[in-house]
C-alpha cells in the first residue's frame, strides 16, 4: 500500500511542534540497548558502565541510553531470568530504565489461541492478520504507563513462542528466523514507539517520515554481536554512517578505541523523482523501516567472544550463560539433553530448566511433524528424543555444566542470531531483512 508521504510528514511535524521540538540534532533519537541477557548484551552493559561503549563512532554515556530492554519470548532458560535482578540493579545504578517486556497472562493467551483457532478455520482467505489484531485483548487496555504495559504483555503481539508455534502445528524454523522478529524485535519496536512519543511527541510512523525527509536520524538499537561474528551484522539503513556499513575484521587484543566517525548524510532521491514508499525504489532495495537502525558496539570496539569474560568478571557477571529459547533449533543437541535430565529430576539440570519443558518441546515437535514430516527441530534427526539419545551415546561423560557452557554452533550448521536473542543463521540474514516492515 502506498502511503501519502507528504501528509504523514506534515502530521509528524505538527506533532513535533506540539511537543516543542522542531529540529533534531544527532543525539535527538531514541537509543535502546537490546538486552538478550546473554554474554554479548551483558558485556555491552558493562562497557556502558565503564564509559567505554561506542556506537556509530560516538562514545555513549548512560544518559544517552533511553532504555535497556529485554523482550521475553516466554521460553527463556531459568539462568536467563536468574540474572534479571542483577541487570536491573546495574541499570538502576547507572540511572537507565530497564524494561522487561513480559508475555501476556496465561489466561489472555489461552483466550487468544482459542479465538485464533476459530478464525483460522473460518476466515482463512479473508485477511486473517487484521482479524487477529482484534482478538489481542491484552492490547486493548489503554492509559497505562510504559512499566505497566511492559508487565501486562502489551508490547507483544503473540503468546509465548512455544504456544504460538504449537497452536499452528509448526516450529520456529532455522530457515525463516521469524521467531526473533515476532517475539523479540517487534515488541522492542513497539516500546520504541512509546519512548519516541513520550520524548518527541512523534511515534514510529511519523519518525519514519522525518527520517525519510532527512530531518531526523533514525532511532538506534544497540545489538550485542561480538566482533568475531561479523556474519550476524546487518548494516542496511541508508543513513548508517558509511564507515559502519562494513564490519571491521576483528583483531585479537585490539584496544577499546572508537574507530568510526559518525556522519549524518541524508539519503536523497534522485533529482526529479518523487519520494516513494515502494521498497524496490529504495537504495540497494533496502526494505527496512526508516525510523530505526541498529549499531553493533562490540564489533566497532573489536570485542570478540574471548574478550567478554574479562569484561563480565569486572562487574560480577562472570557466570553469565548464553541466552536463548529452550526450544531453539540452533542450540546444541546437548541443551535438549539438559531438558530431558531436568524432567528426570536431575538437580543440576533443574537449575537451568523446568522439568515440564522436555515433554513440552517433544510434544511441540510431534504436532509439527504430524502436520509436515519435514518439521524436524534438530537438523536431520527424525525427532528430538532420538537426537538426544544418539548424542548421549556419543557423549556419555558430559556433565550438565560442561554442556551449558558450550556455545552455539558456528558457521555452516547455523550460526544464529539477530543479537536480540543471540540467534540467526547467517544464511537467513536476508530473510530477516525481508520481514522488517514498518
Could you give phi then psi for residue 325, rounded to 5 degrees? -90, 145
At closest approach, how far in Å is the CB of 104 from ligand SF4? 17
At closest approach, how far in Å is the CB of 179 from ligand SF4? 3
At closest approach, how far in Å is the CB of 350 from ligand SF4? 21
Between CA 282 and CA 298 the distance in angstroms is 29
Residue 325 sits in the site that holds ligand SF4 (CB under 6 A): yes
Nearer to ligand SF4, 135 or 409 (CB): 409
Determine contact, residues 364/163, Cβ cutoff 8 Å. no
Nearer to ligand SF4, 340 or 423 (CB): 423
Between CA 249 and CA 266 the distance in angstroms is 27
Residue 195 sits in the site that holds ligand SF4 (CB under 6 A): no
Residue 330 sits in the site that holds ligand SF4 (CB under 6 A): yes
At closest approach, how far in Å is the CB of 172 from ligand SF4? 4
Residue 158 sits in the site that holds ligand SF4 (CB under 6 A): no
Between CA 342 and CA 388 the distance in angstroms is 13
- Packing angle of the helix pair 5-18, 204-212 (nearest 10 deg): 110
Residue 328 sits in the site that holds ligand SF4 (CB under 6 A): yes
At closest approach, how far in Å is the CB of 421 from ligand SF4? 3
Nearer to ligand SF4, 97 or 324 (CB): 324
The owner of cell 485483548 is: 137
Q: Per-residue x/- marks for ligand SF4, 172-191, CB under 6 A?
A: x------xx--xx-------
Nearer to ligand SF4, 15 or 167 (CB): 167
Phi-psi region of 153 (alpha: psi -120 to 50; beta: other; left: phi over 0): left
Residue 108 sits in the site that holds ligand SF4 (CB under 6 A): no
Site for ligand SF4 (CB under 6 A): which residue of 139, 190, 423, 432?
423
Mapping DSSP to helix (H, G, I), strand (E, B) and coil, where does residue 58 land?
Answer: strand
In sequence order, the 6+-apart residues with CB closer than 8 A to the CB of 230 are 247, 249, 250, 299
Nearer to ligand SF4, 302 or 419 (CB): 419
Pairing of strands 219-222, 58-59: unpaired
Q: How many residues line the site for ligand SF4 (CB under 6 A)?
A: 13
The owner of cell 505538527 is: 14
Angle at 236 between CA 231 and CA 239, to 5 degrees: 140
Using CB under 6 A, which of the segments 186-194, 374-382, 405-413, 415-423 binds ligand SF4? 415-423
Between CA 380 and CA 330 the distance in angstroms is 13
Phi-psi region of 28 (alpha: psi -120 to 50; beta: other; left: phi over 0): beta
Site for ligand SF4 (CB under 6 A): which residue of 73, 102, 196, 208?
73
Mapping DSSP to helix (H, G, I), strand (E, B) and coil, where does residue 71 land?
Answer: strand
Nearer to ligand SF4, 250 or 329 (CB): 329
Between CA 338 and CA 426 the distance in angstroms is 26
Between CA 245 and CA 263 the distance in angstroms is 12
- Cβ neighbours of 308 (radius 10 Å): 24
Residue 421 sits in the site that holds ligand SF4 (CB under 6 A): yes
At closest approach, how far in Å is the CB of 205 from ligand SF4? 26
Residue 217 sits in the site that holds ligand SF4 (CB under 6 A): no
Using CB under 6 A, which of the segments 12-20, 25-33, 142-150, 325-333 binds ligand SF4? 325-333
Q: Which residues bind ligand SF4 (CB under 6 A)?
A: 73, 172, 179-180, 183-184, 324-325, 328, 330, 416, 421, 423
Amino acid at each position: 500500500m502506498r502511503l501519502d508521504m507528504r501528509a504523514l510528514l506534515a502530521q509528524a511535524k505538527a506533532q513535533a511542534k506540539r511537543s516543542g521540538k522542531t529540529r533534531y540534532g544527532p543525539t535527538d533519537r531514541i537509543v535502546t540497548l537490546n538486552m538478550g541477557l546473554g554474554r554479548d548484551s551483558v558485556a555491552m552493559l558493562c562497557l556502558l558502565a565503564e564509559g567505554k561503549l561506542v556506537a556509530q563512532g560516538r562514545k555513549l554515556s548512560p544518559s544517552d541510553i533511553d532504555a535497556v530492554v529485554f523482550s521475553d519470548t516466554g521460553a527463556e532458560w531459568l539462568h536467563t531470568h536468574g540474572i534479571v535482578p542483577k541487570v536491573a540493579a546495574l541499570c538502576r545504578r547507572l540511572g537507565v530504565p530497564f524494561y522487561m517486556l513480559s508475555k501476556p497472562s496465561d489466561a489472555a493467551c489461552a483466550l487468544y489461541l482459542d479465538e485464533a483457532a476459530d478464525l483460522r478455520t473460518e476466515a482463512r482467505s479473508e485477511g486473517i492478520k487484521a482479524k487477529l489484531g482484534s482478538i489481542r485483548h491484552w492490547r486493548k487496555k489503554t492509559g497505562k504507563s510504559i512499566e505497566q504495559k511492559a508487565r501486562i504483555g502489551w508490547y507483544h503481539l503473540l503468546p509465548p513462542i512455544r504456544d504460538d508455534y504449537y497452536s499452528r502445528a509448526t516450529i520456529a524454523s532455522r530457515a525463516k528466523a521469524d521467531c526473533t522478529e515476532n517475539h523479540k524485535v517487534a515488541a522492542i519496536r513497539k516500546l520504541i514507539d512509546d519512548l519516541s512519543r513520550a520524548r518527541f511527541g512523534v511515534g514510529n510512523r511519523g519518525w519514519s517520515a522525518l527520517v525519510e525527509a532527512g530531518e531526523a536520524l533514525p532511532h538506534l538499537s544497540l545489538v550485542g554481536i561480538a566482533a568475531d561474528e561479523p556474519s550476524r551484522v546487518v548494516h542496511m539503513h541508508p543513513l548508517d554512517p558509511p564507515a559502519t556499513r562494513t564490519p571491521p575484521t576483528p583483531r585479537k587484543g585490539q584496544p577499546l578505541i572508537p574507530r568510526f566517525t559518525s556522519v549524518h548524510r541524508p539519503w536523497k532521491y534522485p533529482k526529479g523523482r518523487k519520494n516513494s514508499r515502494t521498497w524496490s525504489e529504495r537504495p540497494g532495495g533496502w526494505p527496512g523501516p526508516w525510523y530505526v537502525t541498529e549499531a553493533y558496539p562490540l564489533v566497532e570496539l573489536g570485542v570478540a567472544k574471548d574478550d567478554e569474560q574479562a569484561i563480565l568478571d569486572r562487574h560480577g557477571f562472570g557466570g553469565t550463560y548464553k541466552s536463548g529459547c529452550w526450544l531453539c533449533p540452533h542450540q546444541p543437541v546437548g541443551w535438549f539433553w539438559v531438558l530431558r535430565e531436568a524432567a528426570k529430576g536431575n538437580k543440576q539440570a533443574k537449575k537451568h530448566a523446568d522439568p515440564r519443558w522436555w515433554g513440552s518441546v517433544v510434544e511441540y515437535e510431534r504436532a509439527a511433524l504430524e502436520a509436515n514430516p519435514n518439521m524436524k527441530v534438530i537438523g536431520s534427526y527424525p525427532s528430538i528424543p532420538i537426537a538426544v539419545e544418539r548424542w548421549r551415546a556419543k557423549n556419555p561423560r558430559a556433565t550438565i555444566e560442561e554442556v551449558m557452557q558450550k556455545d552455539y554452533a558456528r558457521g555452516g550448521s547455523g550460526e544464529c542470531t539477530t543479537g536480540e536473542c543471540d540467534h540467526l543463521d547467517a544464511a537467513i540474514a536476508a530473510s530477516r531483512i525481508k520481514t522488517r516492515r514498518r
